[in-house]
Amino acid sequence: MGMKRLLILLVVTLWIQSCKEVGPNVDIDGTSSLSGDTTYLESNVAASQDRVVLLEEFTGVRCVNCPRAHATIKQIQTAHPGRVLAVGIHTGIFAQPYTGRPDFKIPEGNAIEQALNGAQGYPSGAVDRTLFAGESRIIIGDNKWSNYVNDHLAVATPVNINLAKAYNAASRQLDFTATIRLTAAYAENLYFSAYLIEDDIIDYQLTPTGIDSSYSHTHVLRKLLTPLSGQQLNAPSFTAGRVVVQRYSLTIGPAFNVANLKIIAFVHNNGTNKSVLHAAYSLVE
């Protein structure tokens, strides 16, 4: 090969390499970027964690009965410290914000509700996204939550979830890693989802006695950190000892109070059976 052709080939090669696309960290207005995943087998199977139940509540600032459901969640969480994680998803006609007040709805909120086959009324919610025996819907009234939460707390989970995070206050960049360990074999595909929620937001809420302008809104869903249907775990099989590590990176915008933010993560099925197997959380800061 002549020297001229060799130089041309070298220049083209360097140009192609320099143009290789590198996915940026996305702003909190979008989903976080999956910056890497790893899977391997451990010879020693980890001991099972206590099951943590996910309660997805469909609510709204104009829902007069929703404060009752908020109180029910607080009672359930007090009865089972650290073992029930709640997410408040503002959807439907009662979630329209008051004039001049913040909008707690997110673009994917209605899609989450519809993915769980819809709500017949508000307040209502899904316990571990499970269609319980005798029920016609996954999303059920708040008067039924406590019994179903108790039922699921007694069911062993085949997966462990460990979350690790690093937050840079100057850049507001959050990197977090989810390590999912199989403590028992599981035959179906598994999916990982993560939410960003915010606590202690003081704003308007309709109550039976009128509008409370100093109402403390908790566990408000702010953003999805994974696709709507979840991130499918990339593993050849889910035998006991299988480990899947998912790494995410995102930048948190200035509209959110980082001190009140949490990551809510869960492993679940995706299809006719949508049940959640286990959940976990981490503070952002």
pLDDT per residue over 9-24, tens digit each? 333 333 333 332 222 2
Examine the pLDDT at 103 and tell me if it is beyond 90: yes
Q: Which CATH superfamily is domain 24-283 in?
A: Immunoglobulins (2.60.40.10)
Mean per-residue pLDDT for 67-72? 98
Q: In this structure, are residues 174 and 165 in contact, taking their beta carbons and an 8 Å threshold? A: yes
Mean per-residue pLDDT for 189-214? 97
**Least confident span in 25-39, 76-90, 98-112, 116-130:** 25-39
| Residue with token string 């319980």 | 132
Of 178, 215, 219, nearest in space to 196 by CA: 219
Task: Look at residue 36 in the predicted model and tell me its pLDDT.
Answer: 73
Examine the pLDDT at 29 and tell me if it is beyond 90: no
Report the alpha-carbon distance of residue 183 to residue 160 in Å, rounded: 7
Which residues, at least 6 apart from 246, have a Cβ–Cβ distance to it below 8 Å?
34, 36, 37, 177, 178, 180, 192, 231, 233
pLDDT per residue over 202-256, tens digit each? 999 999 999 999 999 999 999 999 999 999 999 999 999 999 999 999 999 898 9
Ordered by start, the domain boundaries in the chain are: 24-283
pLDDT per residue over 114-126, tens digit each? 999 999 999 999 9
CA-angle at 46, arms to 45 and 47, nearest 5°? 120
